[in-house]
Structure 1
């Protein structure tokens, strides 16, 4: 009869205590949005779980900090966010609550590809005051004052012609959806790893091993997505808002334009009519909505054209958090594009 290993009763509480001490040793790490949370989660596997501020279907463009978020920032040893151009709601709370934490703006990661805002042509000018929006919206924008930021990093048009004003708070005029290029994810992951190793050297080997695994997976993901979209990359399409430039740039995809640059600014009738015309003129094969916004505008844009509608989710609004989210997000965008564009 095989020997049975028994653990003395007094040893069980000791083992449980040791496990709780292991969990307590993990530093409190806070992340801003789901894609960043996913990258940090992958690197922290086996050590701890980072906290997430913008959870569920919430958007960083319109988010209001909750008391639980404020507590997390106060307790944090490390905070990762893209930066004030994207999560404007975090700028002042981080100054007030995150003073004891290492606060890392990933938009400053070395090696990032940064793309300027697109203006002109089929794209709406980034001036936060759509000339075709309703008079009430125009009045609201005027009341907000000159140099208003819409929370999406889009300064009013005059700010783009004034370098001093544009950079006086350290905000650059670039598209902030940086994570939609896996090579940018690699650059951000490198900074995340360095920061975690410095903050928690006891777990350095785990962080570094996880980072190597993540880097290899991102390389494979890049090749996979390139193959997925290759058959449809020359078919033009229109998006609800201009959030996909990094994805398009990386994979040579042909975008025809966007309905609006800011998902919080509802375009007026003239803007919708203009896009409707351009869908026909440019031969756009698909118009993509986003899960957190009503598809009504997209339906109006494609009415009477041969274009189809699809859904893209640039901020992972509908996805479950965790280390796999980033990969699900990128694959989802690629597969949605292929499915919609292949059927036209």
Structure 2
């Protein structure tokens, strides 16, 4: 009789553990930066998943049948919005459970391409129209909104509210995680502001206009954007014009993004006092844990300040 009772208890315990595991809220984010924010909120309760694999472009991703199933099955779905993940709206519309396009959240500091950088929190940097990245038309929303800690805080607060509603038994933990994340963001913001002061005004160029939010938050501004379409080499006239910009700038940095350095980079910088480096605004290889978002931002600051800090000081 005791043996039967023990077996029954074991089965009950297994069932309860299995039920608890299933009770974890299934959170799916479109891109890694949103997963990093969600991981801070879900820390100790569950682990959010991400739709796009490392290195995949949110501008051009093609959904597989398995991706569509994941979007359909997730209890909570977070994406930036149709301006970034233009492959998602039709699939999102078919979902029966909550989905949040975070670009619509109140309280965000949003920027638009081509607007003058005059200190207004809703405006970005001004550059010549022909320098804009091919995906980023003047006047369109800059969707790289996660690169400002203020926006990360707004997104995390919405996630904590959604998770608390979906999983009331862990609401206190979600709110505690949100409070801890908020405190770490304050420390991050202060740290980055101090770190980048030494390189303010030093010239750098990018292959993708993805950093306006980060630059606006920390007093930086890129000198130009070298527009390239994938690995297609631009014409000689365009390359000469870009090299002229680099020559005018003098010692500078040119930043590309993973997973590859554009072939144009070496052609463009050959024989010039230019340092090539890499910035990853997506945090593609980062682990989704409680401090992943801070690591993403710290990495950007470290790469920028390391490259720019190695440039000779202006006379």
TM category, shorter: 0.7 to 0.9
Q: 1:27 aligns with which of 20, 25, 28?
A: 25
* Aligned partners of 2:131 and 2:226 also within 8 Å: no
| Residues 169-228 of structure 1, C-alpha deviations (whole Å, 9 max, x = no match) | xxxx21110011111111111121222222332321111111111111111111111122
1:124-163 alignment, distance < 5 Å? 124=130, 126=132, 128=134, 152=135, 154=136
Once the two structures are TM-superposed, the CA of residue 10 in structure 1 deviates from its matched residue by 5.3
CA distance in 1, matches of 2:218, 2:110: 15
Q: Provide the residue aligned with 1:111 in structure 2.
A: 107
Aligned to 1:174: 141
Q: Deviations over 1:52-78 (max 9, x none)?
A: 101222121121112222111221221
Rounded Cα–Cα distance in structure 2 between residues aligned with 1:262 and 1:324? 34
- The CA deviation at 1:313 is 0.6
* Pair 1:265–1:214, CA change in 2 (3 A): farther
Aligned to 2:69: 71
Asked if residue 193 in structure 1 is aligned to residue 160 in structure 2, the reply is yes
Counterpart mapping for 1:287-298 below 5 A: 287-298=254-265
Distance 1:24 1:267 in 2: 52
Q: Work out which of the residue numbers 195, 208, 228 in structure 1 matches 2:195.
A: 228
Cα distance in 2, alignment partners of residues 220 and 311 from structure 1? 25
Q: Give the drift of 1:296.
A: 2.2
Q: Which residue pairs with 1:279 in the alignment?
A: 246
Residues 42 and 177 in structure 2, CA contact (< 8 A), matched pair in contact too: yes
Change (3 A) 1:323 1:297: farther
Paired residues of 1:238 and 1:258 also in contact (CA < 8 A): yes
Per-residue deviation, 1:123: 5.8
Written as runs of structure 1 = structure 2, the 5 A alignment for 1:36-75 is: 36-75=34-73
Give the alignment partner of residue 80 of structure 1, picking from 73, 78, 81: 78
* 1:242 matches 2:209: yes
Cα distance in 2, alignment partners of residues 37 and 108 from structure 1: 18
Match of 1:139 in 2: none
The residue that corresponds to 1:303 in the other structure is 270
Looking at structure 2, the residues matched to 233 and 337 of structure 1 have their Cα atoms a distance apart, in angstroms, of 10
**Distance in 2 of aligned mates of 1:272 and 1:241:** 16
TM-score by length of 2: 0.86
Who is 2:3 aligned against? none
Query: Could you say if the C-alpha distance between residues 288 and 52 of structure 1 is closer, same or farther in structure 2, counting changes exceeding 3 Å?
Result: same
1:320 maps onto 2:283 in alignment = no
1:125-178 deviations in Å (ceiling 9; x for gaps): 5584xxxxxxxxxxxxxxxxxxxxxxx4x45x7xx5xxxxxxxxxxxx211100
- Segments of structure 1 that go 5 or more residues without pairing to the other structure are 1-7, 129-151, 161-172
TM-score, normalisation: structure 1: 0.79
**1:291/1:335 CA distance change after superposition, 3 Å:** same
Give the 5 Å matches for 1:208-227.
208-227=175-194
Q: Unpaired segments of 5 or more residues in structure 2?
A: 1-5, 116-125
* Alpha-carbon offset, residue 267 of structure 1: 4.2
